[in-house]
Amino acid sequence: MTVEEWTAVRLSLLVAVTATAFSLPAGVAVAYLLARGRFWGKSLVDTLVHLPLILPPVVTGYLLLLLFGRHGPAGAFLERSLGIVLAFRWTGAALACAVMGFPLMVRAIRLSIEAVDERLESAAGTLGANPAWVFATITLPLCVPGVIAGAILCFAKSMGEFGATITFVSNIPGETQTLPTAIYTLTQVPGGDAGALRLTLVSVVISMAALLGSELLARRIGARRMAT
């Protein structure tokens, strides 16, 4: 593999891990709110979360560019107050991946929270646990398999995200060129077939490893729970 190809692989992993790690706490919070909360505008929040799933990725990427570009309202604010620039940087690629993976993550976690018996939560309440403790000691441990599944989905989506990423942060080698955009670039130049194939294999291996890893983790947690 060439140096450029290795860079693309490393960058893809960095972007996917960052996107997953930063969206996980928010994903759990939103999933809990949607699963257990009763508030005005819940269906609006639900729709908003699912929007990246139904919009064309290019549209999501363009909206991100409008919002988080250097002259966009959110982008300008972040640059002025925190010195963070997202447009055409790898951090922007991570944001695009996080947004695209968010609905998948929330969906998986929400389903597993809904599967937790609410009667156990009320039992914990009668034993003196306030709602935050009930969540931390009962709800969260019982929905860990769903949280793992949600994180893996988000990671996998991030590894493969193309449309929103290329629209928002372009395809700059060494800065924003991830695996999918690198493969796309290689297929556009004469003699790039071999490189594209190598990267495709790497992509397959990473995705399978992530899936296997999550299976093993879920099984180990399940086994610990069944142990007598």
Between 77 and 133, CB nearer to another protein:
133
Contact 149, 27 (CB under 8 A): no
C-alpha 94/C-alpha 86 separation (Å) is: 9
* Residue 80 or 119 having the CB closest to another protein: 119
Interface pattern 104-133 for another protein (x via CB under 8 A)? -------------x-xx-xxxxxxxxxx-x
Q: For another protein, which is the closer residue by CB, 28 or 99? A: 28
Q: What are phi and psi of 60, to 5 degrees?
A: -60, -45
Question: Taking CB under 8 A as the rule, does residue 223 contact another protein?
Answer: no
Contact 42, 50 (CB under 8 A): no
Contacts of residues 84-89 at CB distance under 8 Å and 24 or more positions apart, as own/partner, are 86/169, 87/168, 87/169, 88/169, 88/170, 88/172, 88/175, 88/176, 89/169, 89/175, 89/176
Q: And the tokens for 225?
A: 């729970």
Of residues 127 through 166, those in contact with another protein by CB under 8 A are 127-131, 133-134, 137-138, 141-142
Please report how close the Cβ of residue 84 comes to another protein at its closest, in angstroms. Answer: 39
Instruction: Report whether 96 contacts 61 (CB < 8 A).
Output: yes
The answer to the question of residue 6 lying near another protein (CB under 8 A) is no
Q: How many residues bind another protein (CB under 8 A)?
A: 23
43 binds another protein (CB under 8 A): no
**Smallest separation, CB 166 to another protein (Å):** 43
The whole-angstrom separation of Cα 120 and Cα 124 is: 6
If one asks whether residue 38 binds another protein (CB under 8 A), the answer comes out as: no
Q: Which residue lies nearer to another protein by CB, 104 or 124? A: 124
228 scored as a contact of another protein (CB under 8 A): yes
Residue numbers at the binding site for another protein (CB under 8 A): 117, 119-120, 122-131, 133-134, 137-138, 141-142, 225-228
